[in-house]
Structure 1
Amino acid sequence: MTRLAVVMTPERADDVISADTRELLAQNFDVSWAEDVSPETVAALAKDSDVLLTSWGTPHLDKAIWADGNGPKAVAHAAGSVKRLIDPAVLDQGVAVFSAGGRIAWSVGEYCLAAMLTLARRLPRFDAAIREGGWKQTGFRGSEIADQQVGILGASSTARALIAILKPFGCDLVVYDPYLTGARAKELGVRTASLEETLQSGFVSLHVPDVPETKGLVTRKLIEQLPDNAVVINSSRGPAIDQQALLDHVLDGRIYAALDVYDPEPPKFDEKTLAAPNLLLTPHVAGDTKEGHLALAGYVLADVLKWLDDGSRGPSFVDPAVWSIGA
């Protein structure tokens, strides 16, 4: 039977491994459970395993684990990005890596929809008004997202999840991504556009990875050109946007924003920023849901089993060819 080592803390295992997935493990693998995640423990378990099941908190997997030509044949990461987990040189040795980023993407997509609806309907402003004794004569009115233009920066897995979620709303979905082909855009049901045109949308959602090309992607000049009352959502990476420029336009009441990521993290804001009713702030939790976390291990293990069976590459397979532009 295939040997699998669960190299995460017991607390993390309870967080990302559902009861059904534990049964799947018992039925398909000879399982070893790490008592701790020290580099020494992880290395020792890795040497005797065919598959490693990892998650947040698992230390960096040193390429020395594979130095003798042995080591695990597959690494299944029940979390998102694998860039800090594993040296890409290991992929050249034929090691298959799987990431649950695609499952997390759906949770992020739901967050983005929630943020869009919350800010489009001006719910924080209505909430603040009624707490201050107001009623219907607030002087402002919410908007709908149906049939509106939504600009999406990046065609990542989180962007694709949001695209799927927005389909019933009939939105005009405009995507800026230098790597998105016309054929793929047609498959997704979106149209491609320049960065400038994409940012001329009533709703803008960022879905770019943290790579040198995306740092400072949305500049102050571009933010100044956003339409009045635009809703900007950043659930990707803080450095992708000029955060201070965005906040300047939020605080003067011109636009709305929902921020789940920051530069730096955690952020430190003054009282005026914290009190802004057109600013929605969350602590990097867009992909963090109860159901989503419990599904993570099962998501990657389903693809690992198919790969072990016939070499097929499921949706969680990390393609070495796109490592450099991945999240």
Structure 2
Amino acid sequence: MVSKLAVVMTPERAADVCGPDARRLIEEHFEATWAEGGLDDREVARLAAGCDVLLTSWGTPHLDASIWADGGGPKVVAHAAGTVKKLIDRQVLDQGVTVFSAAGRIAWSVGEYCLAAMLTLARRLPRFDAALRGGGWKQKDFRGGELAGRSVGIVGASSTARALITLLKPFGCDVVVYDPYLDEARAAALGVRTATLAETLRCAFVSLHVPDLPATRGMVTRQLIEAMPDGTILVNSSRGPAVDQPALLDHVLSGRLLAALDVYDPEPPSFGESVLSCPNLLLTPHIAGDTTEGHLALAGYVLADVVDWLDKGVRGPSFVDPAAWPTAA
């Protein structure tokens, strides 16, 4: 029996996240209905009526619990984007709805960003770029450094952190992870060692990978930042509120630390000229997970797992575990 699938996203978003693999899976395994224009609650309800699977993404309105009234409604939600916490309420999972998220595919894009940021700042490329644009050349008393063999502290063992850990393997780094939910067995399987937050922040490179939760807001305090060694490179691609941003900028502007920031508190940020011209600072507009190839792969990533789930009852990597909801991004 062919399952019915509703593509609950605008045509523009569908073109963005439904690459060739996704469209092949849809053609081979589903009877599909595609949204034809804008989305509101009425249109979402119309698309969801009588379907088995909802394919959603950024721009899909919050899915009201009434869609599943009286025990009916779609049995699967496949989210071709990251977090599902703004898309559905936790109670929907308790009604027997299986949810998949493309956060794991986005994680690879974020991992590549973090590696690129580390290498860029280690080699001091922004400083050399600014010097050359200003008419200068090599600076005899200054040179960049390397990532290979250095210590890397990772805060939070999320999917983005695991992607970065994989990418770091050829560099032979000493990778240290702080995550209260990471036990020694899982750490060993990842090829890392665990440490306290303070110890993790004393590595030569630090990368943050935590969700926005009450426990993570402000976790990297001014006191912890002051204890970081001179020359430390910090990358934040997770959530801006995790860091005392003014304290971090104080130490970056002084020249003591270097940082790559893709997230801010608030967003978008408003910085003065001293921050915008600082060669120790790499600033990007929340694009760590935003790549052309990555976006086109998102729908295919979740739909492959949906097909396996419907055909074989197999939980693939994009399966959203209800037990992990409280600590998920």
Give 1:47's aligned residue: 49
Structure 1 runs not aligned, ≥5 long: none
Deviations 1:273-317 (A, max 9, x none): 100011000000000000000000000000000110121110000
1:50-65 equivalence runs, <5 A? 50-65=52-67
Of 32-41 and 234-243, more deviation after overlay is shown by 32-41
State the one-letter code of the partner of 1:248.
Answer: D
Say yes or no: does 1:28 pair with 2:38. no
Give 2:114's aligned residue: 112
Give 1:235's aligned residue: 237
Give 1:166's aligned residue: 168
Give 1:197's aligned residue: 199
Equivalent position to 2:273, from 267, 271, 274: 271
Give the superposition deviation at 1:27: 1.2
Give 1:326's aligned residue: 328
Deviations 1:53-95 (A, max 9, x none): 0000000001111011010000000000000000110101110
The answer to whether the 8 Å contact 2:21/2:297 transfers is no
State the one-letter code of the partner of 1:111.
Answer: Y
Deviations 1:186-216 (A, max 9, x none): 0000000000000010100000001111000
- TM-score for both structures, normalised by structure 1: 0.99
Equivalent position to 2:123, from 121, 139, 148: 121
The answer to whether the 8 Å contact 1:129/1:138 transfers is no
Structure 2 runs not aligned, ≥5 long: none
Give 2:177's aligned residue: 175
The answer to whether the 8 Å contact 2:25/2:304 transfers is no
The answer to whether the 8 Å contact 1:47/1:70 transfers is no
CA distance in 1, matches of 2:71, 2:140: 69
Say yes or no: does 1:136 pair with 2:134. no
Equivalent position to 2:73, from 71, 74, 77: 71
Q: CA RMSD in A?
A: 0.7
CA distance in 2, matches of 1:139, 1:57: 51
Give the superposition deviation at 1:221: 0.4
CA distance in 2, matches of 1:206, 1:19: 33
Say yes or no: does 1:217 pair with 2:219. yes
Give the superposition deviation at 1:254: 0.5
Give the superposition deviation at 1:134: 1.7
CA distance in 2, matches of 1:31, 1:58: 17
The answer to whether the 8 Å contact 2:178/2:197 transfers is yes
CA distance in 1, matches of 2:140, 2:249: 23
CA distance in 1, matches of 2:90, 2:139: 59
CA distance in 2, matches of 1:72, 1:165: 37
Give 2:18's aligned residue: 17
Give the superposition deviation at 1:19: 2.2
Give the superposition deviation at 1:44: 1.7
Equivalent position to 2:96, from 63, 75, 94: 94
Give 1:150's aligned residue: 152
CA distance in 1, matches of 2:13, 2:261: 26
CA distance in 2, matches of 1:22, 1:137: 53
For the residue of structure 2 that corresponds to 1:179, the secondary structure is coil
CA distance in 1, matches of 2:312, 2:132: 60
Identical pairs, percent: 72
For the residue of structure 2 that corresponds to 1:67, the secondary structure is helix
CA distance in 1, matches of 2:225, 2:311: 50
For the residue of structure 2 that corresponds to 1:26, the secondary structure is helix
CA distance in 1, matches of 2:47, 2:11: 15
State the one-letter code of the partner of 1:179.
Answer: Y
Give the superposition deviation at 1:138: 5.0
Deviations 1:236-273 (A, max 9, x none): 00000000100000001111000000000000000111
CA distance in 1, matches of 2:139, 2:164: 34
CA distance in 2, matches of 1:293, 1:138: 43
The answer to whether the 8 Å contact 2:153/2:205 transfers is yes
CA distance in 2, matches of 1:311, 1:37: 31
State the one-letter code of the partner of 1:15.
Answer: D
The answer to whether the 8 Å contact 1:174/1:192 transfers is yes
1:227-306 equivalence runs, <5 A? 227-306=229-308
For the residue of structure 2 that corresponds to 1:30, the secondary structure is strand
CA distance in 2, matches of 1:265, 1:219: 20
CA distance in 2, matches of 1:87, 1:131: 51
